[in-house]
Amino acid sequence: MIRQPNRALCILLLLIAATLTAAPVTGADIGLFGDVTFVDSDAPDASSTFVLGVLDVYVTQEINDRMTGFVELVFAADDGGEFEAEVERLWIRYEVANAFQIAAGRFHTPIGYWNRTYHHGSLIQDTAARPFFLDFEDDHGVLPTHVIGLMASGDAWAGVGTFHYELTVGNGQSLDSSGGLDPAPADRPELDPTNLGDLNNDKSVASRLSLRNDRGWQIGAFGLTQAIAESGALDRGSLVATGETLADQTLLGFDVRYEGKRYGLLSEYFRIDHDGPAGGHDATAFYIQAWFDPAEKWRLVYRFASLDSDERDPYFRLLGLPAQDHHVMTLGYRMDEVSVVRLEVDRLAGSPTLADATTIRAQWAFLIP
């Protein structure tokens, strides 16, 4: 069932699409990503199930020589099983020069390669699931994957390759701690990108600088700083008053990517520092993913992803994600440019609080361009 407010969003999207497609020369590009996944796991309380992934509609349009608009709207089932629509990305960008473009709206935060490249449609990534610590906020992710504000970006040729930079200034994220430090899974709060307005005057600042050459290599370095604001209230048991800082968060990291004709590599490393009323804590997260094409249309992928966090850190306790490792092996068959089927085995291990578990995913992901 789609709730009333979401109908309004649908109508808005259709109106935007109709308006954009009316352009005489530069037709709007509209596409729909979707996936259906069968999941089976030996984790406690898990049952085998078919899962409708997100239904992801995007529209992009070059409004004139210098201005581009983009909308990404995702329909996904919420925790109660009802479909909800959410604007995941919405921005308008003006190109002053190749080296300087300015955009306003809601973006995927420039923290690493994955978050800026793969977005919500799983077709374009090589695995059925994202690295677990890069899950989106509404999937109980622990990193600020969305930001609302301004983005400056640009690129420049540097002889050895193309430099690209992205810099965002936007609302800081918030968390509701009123459910206590170790809430039950059903009561876990989500990081909130604060769509409706920042809860304090501290803005989030993030940036990424990358260099890509013609031989398939790309390296990047990135950082983010923000104050995570309390969105709960003291009279409901929150740790601090509404709008006050739960934790100052600093992310630093780098990413490396190589894409050859038949094999490739992608890796990202994050250092996550928190400083709040409960003291300072740090964590590290990384993944290494390698792929190989044994035959045309086939791709074999292995990924090791790891989160090493301080179990006393209130941030990770609130979000309910303890330290853990994942070994992921995926075999994908690209049926054509618009659909892929995958079989994925995901082994969770190395957690002090979670039992080892194996999850199997069989996914059919597609694009209707």
Partner 1 sequence: MTSVRARPPFGCKLPATILALAVLLAPPLYGDVAVVTAEATPIDALDEAQAKALWLGTIERVEGVKLAVADRSDAEIRTEFYSRVLDKTRGQVKAIRAKRAFQHGIAPPPELPSDESVLTWIRARPHRLGYVDAESVEGPVKVLLIIQVPERSEPP
* CB closer to partner 1, 56 vs 192: 56
Count of CA atoms in the C-beta half-sphere (13 A) of 58: 21
* CB closer to partner 1, 157 vs 292: 157
Q: Nearest-CA neighbor of 230 among 280, 279, 178, 272?
A: 178
Strands 217-230 and 174-175: parallel
* CB closer to partner 1, 99 vs 357: 99
* CB closer to partner 1, 18 vs 345: 18
The distance of closest approach from Cβ of residue 91 to partner 1 in the complex, given in angstroms and rounded to an integer, is 7
Q: Nearest-CA neighbor of 277 among 309, 245, 305?
A: 245
Q: For residue 136, give every residue at least 6 positions away whose Cβ sits within 8 Å of its Cβ, in sequence order, or none.
A: 120, 130, 145, 146
The distance of closest approach from Cβ of residue 31 to partner 1 in the complex, given in angstroms and rounded to an integer, is 4
Q: What is the Cα–Cα distance from 92 to 16, expressed in whole angstroms?
A: 13
Q: In the structure encoding, which two tokens stand for residue 37, read together?
A: 């996944």
The distance of closest approach from Cβ of residue 224 to partner 1 in the complex, given in angstroms and rounded to an integer, is 20
The distance of closest approach from Cβ of residue 112 to partner 1 in the complex, given in angstroms and rounded to an integer, is 14
The distance of closest approach from Cβ of residue 166 to partner 1 in the complex, given in angstroms and rounded to an integer, is 11
Sign of CA dihedral 339, 343, 115, 292: negative
Distances (CA, A) of 93 to 30, 68, 168, 171: 18, 5, 13, 18
* CB closer to partner 1, 91 vs 286: 91
* CB closer to partner 1, 45 vs 337: 337
Binding site for partner 1 (CB under 8 A): 25-29, 31, 33, 58, 60-62, 65, 68, 70, 72, 89, 91, 93, 98, 117-119, 121, 123-124, 155, 157, 159, 162, 214, 336-338, 367, 369
The distance of closest approach from Cβ of residue 99 to partner 1 in the complex, given in angstroms and rounded to an integer, is 10
